[in-house]
Amino acid sequence: MELMKLKYYKLMFDKKTKKNFYPRGFTLLEILIAIFILGVVLATAYASYSGILRVSRDVEHEAKVYKMARTTMDKMIRDLTSIQPSGGSFELRTANDKLSRHEFKSVFFWSAAHLAFNENEVSGSPTSIAYFVQEDEDGSFSLRRSDDPGVKSSKGKNVGGGFVICQNVDSLNLIFYDSKGKEYDSWDTSSFAVEQKGKAPTEVKIELGLVNLNDKEKPYKFMTKVFIPVKE
């Protein structure tokens, strides 16, 4: 066997390498080339992984935004469709609130949509409801809902507190329609306007904008229309 090995080495020496046939290590150039190729492969793999991770985070964030918007819209729809008269007339008023160079619409109304948080309260009882935007400590804006139950309307006084139902609000606007389909930017049942005094609108358009953390110039926009089933 050793003799065969020697003949093989000699054959290789005589016909191909013309040099001593001994195993040798890698040269510095070969090592550098190998490191470069490995670096390219790792960089490509990292870029691909980072892209997938970024897309996954964006999808997860958008899912949370859409869920929050849907929950907010659903709650406002239930509250508005439960509007009822107080003392023989409806109560619904809006205001434009300016917060740090931003303007948001707030709304107050009397409704049969009280949310009970303890066993001594009754859900669905008459209550004064207000939706309004407040600025948070970090400079963002949150939509809040206050709920003041009672046998009489609070007339929208001392609106505050409440609980947050939507965060990172970019805009909130409400548009109202009377029984003839006429559009209004605001509504006030205590005004002397014949179309609004003591009356509830037949429809309300809710326009909600939420901040897009990836591109603040392009906020997420949501819109829905609420039909209010009231008699003239």
Q: State the Cα–Cα distance between residues 98 and 118, nearest whole angstrom.
A: 34
Q: Which residues pair with 128 in a beta bridge?
A: 110, 148
| C-alpha–C-alpha distance, residues 155 and 108, integer Å | 8
Q: Are 127 and 114 in contact (CB under 8 A)?
A: yes
Residue 163, classed as helix, strand or coil, is strand
Q: Which two tokens stand for residue 42?
A: 């790792």
Q: Which amino acid is located at 85 in the chain?
A: P
Please check the confidence at residue 61 and state whether its pLDDT lies above 60: yes
- Tell me: the pLDDT tens digits for 28-45? 777 788 888 888 888 887
Q: Which residue has the tokens 């290789």?
A: 12
Look at residue 5 and tell me whether its pLDDT is greater than 60. no
Predicted pLDDT at 165: 93
What would the pLDDT profile of 159-189 be if each residue is shown by its tens digit? 567 899 999 999 999 999 998 899 999 999 9
Mean pLDDT of the chain: 81
